[in-house]
């Protein structure tokens, strides 16, 4: 099925199941421990051995020798995999660094060996006996030092990365220079870790030349292809199974070392092998969100109209990597006739930088939305009203291209009213609650909508149960439930009459979970399969397919009806593909984020007191799970603003704080009351579901709203994230 014209009225619009708050159908399994995650699949591979990865102790250089004799002689050791024994390996299309190092080392904690033993404890003990001789190379680990000589690069998300390296509209330099009110500031965001609950984990088993991996992965088809390419196998010889994923945030979009090393270990050992990457190794072994250094310039007329806006960002990555696209939202979020965006990419020998929840927009808005507040203060305008004044209903770079829908002004107005913004004192450091300095902050949220081709198979059994199969994944986001809701709505059955099968590469290829595209795209694929099945059911039961309804487990046309189960045995597979509506219309999601903080006047301790997000994201398929997505993202925003930072050892090229004892993330005690409001504006240009996505929108802008609230509370402006005590304590107002 091809979606190339705006959706008219369709069965989803009934709203009997879709759009209703619905408890997650996988909840009972997860809360009772019956939902097996990758490392817990004790039912799938008998006599599995355990593998423990040996990680590189240098960031750049050469592995001269691995001394394995002591490890091989250790109790329980079955085999040891190295680059010498693994045979020729390829590299996945989406991997920047190779996943097994040797002799060349690409980054710190790169896998260099796998010790396989009868038990995990034996494998871990033997891995500690492996000794490596290195020739350490000279690496680059300092972003600030590397950026001045780094080249500008085009936006990889625009025109397939073939656009201009410096994107200009109008004459920014001239109009900025002549603007009566100007802002020119630098902002920095640090490297950050995904820090998902479930680590990278895989069980691998061979049957002849066919490989099955039970793994933790967001994108089944991508990873199946890259695993096949890495091992030199035909793609059809590889199967991935990932029905439950304990979080990913983009870190599990791609093939990682656990899957490759488990497959190599199983092949060499001649039996199944299970591998997990230990928590302290994940930050350096896997991908992370790269640090950015950003410069924002805004020129305004005295009435607050933006006449010139520029956003430049620099980030780093391994050779062959890409930039953190922190300027993306600035191309679309606010009006302004004269514009410039640019990115520079430095080559660094740190671990690979890649997608992390809301790549680009999350760190980009952390800078842009502080700049908007700073400009509002220069103008003497309310920050909410300054944003509203510069709203636009068209793509500022291509004014002929309208937004499909855009309700940012309503997000900001409704949020301001609900949050009590009128009670905010515009003068900083004026509001006290005992020892606490209290302030409010606001920021706009923005994330583009993206559609991905997605397929599903739907069938009916003798009991009238509807079964949906798709390789779509549930990374804790509620995919099982929204897929079931879609099928229930389409086939006219209650949700408990739908069985959902996910995460197996033998199922039809879906959109996968990432980029905020998963919910809308995967359910659109289910919609397409159900439409095809409805036609088959009508034909089998002798109904006119154009005049048939599916409701209450029955199929009805005119005064005649039949039970859905009378069509038992029928199934249909279909793919939802997309035309060029996304080119005709700018499809985006918007939010207004509001935060209240307290800052201890004596110690500088920062406490979040209240948070509100008002979101404009098309039809919300399940408000219950959507709210969970947004409050989780808001919590991530607290971490990004106040505590999360991978500290770089610039001498030896690694992230020092690579465990959860030293890489701090928010806990329950850090998070206060959170409120989420969804505007009800189904978008008929995005898919038959008329939905978009909220999983990343909930993060975009939160960090800046917190930073702006801290400034309002204290009068201290911090432009270097995270906002930790040493950055503002000495500047706090004097305490009498």
Residue 696: active-site member: yes
The catalytic position among 198, 573, 596, 696 is: 696
Instruction: Locate 333 and state its tokens.
Output: 């979020």
User: Cβ distance 673 to 334 under 8 Å?
Assistant: no
User: Cβ distance 620 to 482 under 8 Å?
Assistant: no
Instruction: Tokens 């891995």: give the residue.
Output: 127
Burial class (CB in 10 A: 0-12, 13-18, 19+), 462: exposed
Closest among 281, 266, 277 to 209, alpha carbons compared? 266
Q: CA 169 to CA 446: how far, in whole Å?
A: 21
**Cα three-residue angle 186-189-195, rounded to 5 degrees:** 175
* H-helix segments, 353-448: 361-379, 383-389, 408-419
Query: DSSP secondary structure string, 234-288?
Result: -GGGEEEE-S-----TTTTSS--HHHHHHHHHHHHHTS-EEEE--HHHHHHHS-B
For 651, other C-beta atoms within 10 Å of its C-beta total: 10
User: Cβ distance 228 to 495 under 8 Å?
Assistant: no
User: Cβ distance 59 to 651 under 8 Å?
Assistant: no
User: Cβ distance 316 to 350 under 8 Å?
Assistant: yes
Q: CA 626 to CA 633: how far, in whole Å?
A: 11
Q: Is the dihedral of CA 567, 573, 576, 577 positive or negative?
A: negative
For 120, other C-beta atoms within 10 Å of its C-beta total: 17
Which parts of 601-663 are beta strand (E)?
606-616, 648-649, 654-655
Q: CA 161 to CA 159: how far, in whole Å?
A: 5
- Which H or E run contains 624? helix 623-642
- Which H or E run contains 680? none
- Which H or E run contains 673? strand 673-678
Catalytic residues, by residue number, are 696
């Amino acid at each position: 099925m091809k979606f190339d014209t705006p959706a008219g009225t369709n069965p989803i619009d009934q709203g009997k199941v879709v759009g209703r708050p619905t408890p997650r159908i996988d909840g009972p399994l997860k809360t009772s421990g019956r939902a097996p995650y990758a490392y817990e699949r004790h039912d799938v591979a008998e006599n599995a051995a355990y593998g423990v990865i040996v990680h590189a102790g240098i960031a750049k250089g050469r592995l001269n020798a691995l001394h394995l004799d002591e490890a091989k002689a250790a109790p329980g050791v079955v085999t040891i995999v190295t680059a010498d024994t693994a045979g020729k390996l390829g590299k996945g299309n989406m991997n920047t660094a190779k996943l097994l190092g040797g002799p060349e080392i690409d980054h710190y904690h790169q896998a260099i060996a796998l010790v396989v033993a009868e038990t995990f404890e034996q494998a871990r003990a033997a891995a500690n006996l492996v000794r490596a001789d290195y020739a350490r190379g000279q690496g680059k680990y300092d972003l600030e030092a590397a950026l001045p000589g780094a080249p500008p690069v085009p936006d990889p998300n625009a025109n397939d990365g073939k656009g201009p390296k410096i994107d200009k509209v109008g004459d920014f330099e001239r109009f900025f220079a002549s603007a009566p009110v100007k802002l020119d500031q630098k902002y920095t965001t640090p490297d950050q870790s995904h820090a998902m609950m479930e680590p990278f984990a895989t069980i691998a088993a061979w049957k002849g030349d066919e490989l099955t991996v039970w793994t933790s992965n967001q994108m089944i088809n991508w990873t199946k292809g890259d695993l096949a390419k890495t091992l030199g196998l035909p793609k059809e010889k590889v199967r991935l199974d990932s029905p439950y994923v304990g979080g990913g945030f983009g870190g599990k979009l791609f093939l990682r070392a656990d899957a490759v090393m488990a497959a190599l270990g199983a092949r060499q050992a001649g039996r199944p092998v299970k591998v997990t990457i230990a928590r302290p190794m994940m930050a350096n072994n896997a991908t992370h969100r790269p640090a950015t250094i950003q410069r924002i310039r805004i020129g305004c007329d005295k009435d607050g109209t933006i006449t010139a806006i520029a956003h430049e960002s620099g980030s780093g990555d391994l050779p062959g990597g890409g930039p953190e696209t922190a300027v993306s939202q600035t191309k679309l979020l606010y009006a302004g006739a004269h514009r410039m965006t640019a990115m520079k990419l430095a080559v660094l020998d740190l671990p690979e930088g890649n997608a992390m929840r809301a790549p680009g927009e999350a760190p980009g808005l952390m800078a842009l939305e502080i700049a908007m507040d700073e400009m509002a203060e220069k103008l003497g305008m309310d920050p909410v009203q300054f944003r509203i004044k510069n709203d636009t209903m068209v793509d500022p770079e291509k004014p002929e291209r309208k937004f499909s829908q855009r309700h940012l002004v309503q997000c900001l107005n409704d949020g301001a009213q609900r949050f009590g913004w009128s009670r905010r004192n515009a003068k900083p450091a004026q509001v006290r609650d005992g020892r606490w300095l209290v302030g409010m902050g606001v920021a706009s949220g923005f994330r583009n909508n993206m559609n991905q081709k997605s397929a599903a198979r739907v069938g009916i059994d003798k009991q009238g149960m509807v079964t949906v199969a798709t390789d779509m994944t549930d990374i804790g986001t509620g995919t099982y439930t929204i897929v079931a809701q879609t099928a229930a709505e389409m086939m006219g059955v209650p949700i408990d009459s739908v069985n959902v099968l996910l995460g197996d590469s033998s199922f039809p290829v879906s959109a996968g979970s990432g980029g905020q595209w998963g919910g809308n795209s995967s359910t659109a694929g289910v919609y397409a399969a159900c439409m095809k099945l409805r036609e088959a059911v009508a034909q089998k039961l002798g109904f006119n397919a154009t005049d048939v309804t599916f409701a209450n487990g029955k199929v009805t046309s005119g005064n005649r009806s039949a039970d859905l189960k009378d069509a038992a045995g029928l199934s249909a597979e279909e793919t939802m593909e997309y035309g060029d509506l996304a080119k005709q219309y700018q499809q985006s999601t918007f939010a207004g984020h509001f935060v209240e903080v307290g800052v201890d006047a004596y110690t500088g301790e920062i406490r979040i007191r209240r948070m509100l997000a008002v979101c404009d994201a098309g039809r919300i398929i399940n408000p219950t799970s959507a709210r969970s997505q947004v409050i989780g993202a808001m919590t991530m925003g607290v971490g990004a603003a106040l505590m999360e930072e991978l500290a770089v050892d610039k001498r030896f090229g690694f992230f020092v704080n690579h465990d959860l004892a030293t890489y701090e993330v928010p806990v329950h005690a850090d998070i206060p009351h959170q409120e989420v409001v969804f505007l009800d504006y189904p978008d008929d240009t995005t898919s038959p579901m008329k939905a978009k996505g909220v999983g990343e929108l909930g993060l975009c802008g939160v960090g800046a709203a917190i930073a702006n609230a801290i400034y309002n509370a204290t009068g201290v402006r911090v432009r270097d994230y995270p906002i930790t005590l040493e950055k503002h304590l000495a500047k706090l107002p004097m305490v009498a």
